[in-house]
């Protein structure tokens, strides 16, 4: 397992089902936090991402859900909303607080029991387990059933997981990336070697990107049927003073880290999604989104590699 420190005020909690090979992870944001999102993959499963758009009325984000269970797992957000309401966290309306809980899913149904999916009670449990400081990664939470390198089928893939990485800007701000790695492609080290991908058979372990280019087509006898469902999910947490538009810029820049560490990435069967949540207050400065975005991309790549190393 790996650990990395989160910015002050952020809390992360997990619910894990190691038998069903699924789980969910909740990021609780400090009150008043702003958020942004970038949906990059071709097969996403999301909830309330429109509320993070720079033109949406809601200014703040209460929590972010990262979950297994494919589209079924989005039900876990109901439990997170219930937990937030009970703890008086949410968007103020004339009739009371309304928690804003965007979320995204990975497809892990083929990893264990396809009927084992996070639901409202599991989302509530993950929120209730959330804590700050050092965050723990590996095969926990939404990373429990995650796998990578599945072009030749699930049985030839390698374990994915959840990873963290934190950087500090020159202004002393913390930029942390939380990554749930469940990619169709391989996870690549900084030197270009494969950290996790297709398992070797008869001494050979083909690179996913090279194999995908060389295939005549998917499906016929002797050829792969195609990679099962995938997705890499990232949530960047920072105490830099970003507004909602700048959070969207950082979320978009963070996907560069996915491209550095996963090959291939953003395919039609990957529902890759990047969130950015900022709790920072006080004056901004010129080009702050660019600086934090560069740090977010670096932290994202490191968090992805950390997930499979764990």
User: Mean pLDDT of residues grouped by 10 in the chain (310 residues)?
Assistant: 75 96 97 96 93 88 97 97 96 92 96 95 97 84 95 88 94 95 95 92 84 73 63 97 96 97 92 96 93 97 93
Query: Would you state the pLDDT for residue 58?
Result: 85
CA distance 99 to 145: 28
Query: Would you state the pLDDT for residue 136?
Result: 76
CA distance 236 to 195: 23
CA distance 123 to 72: 12
Q: What is the pTM of this model?
A: 0.93
Query: Would you state the pLDDT for residue 14?
Result: 97
Counting beta carbons within 10 angstroms of the beta carbon of residue 44, is it exposed (0 to 12), middle (13 to 18) or buried (19 or more)? Answer: middle
Query: What does the block give as tokens for 256?
Result: 């560069």
Q: CB-side exposure of 275: number of CA atoms within 13 Å?
A: 34
H helix intervals, the chain? 76-86, 120-128, 208-214, 244-261, 288-309
153 neighbors 274 (Cβ within 8 angstroms)? no
Query: Would you state the pLDDT for residue 200?
Result: 86
Query: What does the block give as tokens for 42?
Result: 């071709």
- What SS3 class is residue 259? helix
Query: Would you state the pLDDT for residue 2?
Result: 47
Please count the other Cβ atoms lying within 10 Å of the Cβ belonging to residue 209. 18
């Amino acid at each position: 397992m790996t650990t990395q420190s989160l910015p002050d005020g952020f809390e992360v909690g997990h619910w894990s089902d190691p038998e069903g090979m699924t789980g969910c992870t909740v990021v609780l944001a400090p009150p008043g936090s702003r958020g942004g999102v970038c949906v990059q993959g071709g097969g996403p499963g999301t909830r309330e991402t429109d509320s993070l758009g720079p033109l949406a009325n809601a200014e703040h984000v209460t929590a972010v859900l990262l979950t297994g269970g494919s589209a079924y797992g989005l039900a876990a957000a109901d439990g997170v909303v219930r937990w937030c309401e009970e703890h008086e966290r949410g968007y103020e309306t004339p009739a009371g607080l309304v928690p804003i809980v965007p979320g995204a899913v990975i497809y892990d149904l083929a990893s264990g029991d396809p009927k084992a999916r996070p639901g409202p009670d599991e989302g509530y449990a993950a929120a209730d387990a959330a804590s700050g400081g050092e965050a723990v990664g590996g095969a926990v939470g939404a990373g429990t059933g995650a796998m990578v390198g599945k072009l030749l089928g699930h049985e030839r893939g390698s374990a994915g997981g959840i990873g963290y990485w934190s950087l500090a800007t020159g202004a002393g701000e913390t930029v942390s990336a939380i990554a749930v790695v469940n990619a169709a492609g391989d996870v690549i080290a900084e030197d270009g070697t494969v950290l996790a991908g297709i398992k070797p058979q008869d001494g050979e372990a083909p690179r996913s990107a090279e194999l995908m280019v060389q295939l005549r087509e998917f499906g016929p006898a002797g050829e792969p049927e195609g990679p099962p469902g995938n997705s890499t999910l990232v949530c960047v947490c920072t105490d830099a003073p970003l507004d909602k538009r700048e959070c969207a810029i950082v979320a978009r820049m963070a996907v560069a880290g996915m491209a550095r560490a996963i090959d291939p990435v953003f395919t039609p069967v990957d529902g890759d999604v990047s969130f950015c949540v900022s709790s920072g207050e006080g004056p901004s400065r010129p080009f702050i989104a660019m600086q934090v975005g560069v740090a977010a991309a670096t932290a994202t790549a490191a968090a992805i590699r950390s997930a499979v190393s764990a």
